[in-house]
Amino acid sequence: MLEPLIGAKNVIVAAAEAKVRRVVFTSSSGAMTMDPKRKPDTVVDESCWSDLEFCKNTKNKNRETDERLILLMLEMESQNWYCYGKTVAEQAASDDAKDKGVDLVVVIPVMVIGPLLQPTVNASSLHILQYLNGMAKTYNNAAQAYVNVKDVALAHILVYETPSASGRYLCAESALHRGDVVGILAKLFPQYPIPTKCKDETEPRAKPYKLSNQKLKDLGLEFTPVELALYESVKSFQDRGHLPIPAQQQDHNKWSKL
């Protein structure tokens, strides 16, 4: 995974040569959450880093099993190169920024959902679409943190424009079990064949990890509720033709007129 490392270094070098005032680096929660030593009750915040050796020797089991999603997330046979690459890229950017005197601020989004900005469905939203279109018959026994794409964009603006901003900023609204996700979807859009059974009911229910988004809140960011982010995701699927609109759909939830 040398490409993310080289790319991060090149950006910092170019910024230093151009005397850029501040660089905002987009990292990933993959650079933060992969740590086998973290206790279940430990709050995930900006001080957390993924363990590189753990990334190299584990498979990302929290993804859905759809082949297209696996390819998009760069999941290899036995190693989590996605999280490994995100971690080394952020570390390289931070180290080079210190060496070259570049003011670097890092935004760390979790799973980004909400309105699509492109015509295709991205990897982060694909599992939501599969819960709606019948491709997923069950949901994984897994937990995931979510954030609205509009909040991610605003976070970048805030850390760039706020003189006192520094270091890393975790961009997350809340963490949910996949069972909670399908429950919200079923409540908002009951017309779709949303799965009701867990793929692995024999194991204890996975617990969402605790997280802190206080640093971004302190900058004035008001996070969009995850329920609204999921609603906007589905409406975007419909508007872009990825999901048929049921003839009997009655959109009476509180966000339908937004």
3-state helix, strand, coil in the chain (%, to 5): 40, 10, 45
The confidence score (pLDDT) of residue 253 equals 63
The confidence score (pLDDT) of residue 101 equals 96
Structure tokens at 46: 């900006």
CB 133 within 8 A of CB 66: no
Span 130-159, average pLDDT: 96
Q: Among residues 37, 64, 66, 33, which one has the least CA distance to residue 50?
A: 33
Report the alpha-carbon distance of residue 256 to residue 91 in Å, rounded: 42
* Catalytic position from the list 19, 86, 150, 210: 86
pLDDT, one tens digit per residue, over 99-137 is 999 999 999 999 999 999 999 999 999 999 999 999 999
CB 121 within 8 A of CB 37: no
Residue 86 known to be catalytic: yes
Strands of the sheet with 104-109, listed across from one edge: 23-26, 104-109, 167-171
Angle at 35 between CA 31 and CA 41, to 5 degrees: 115
Question: For residue 170, is pLDDT > 90?
Answer: yes
pLDDT, one tens digit per residue, over 12-54 is 999 999 999 899 999 999 999 899 898 888 999 999 999 999 9
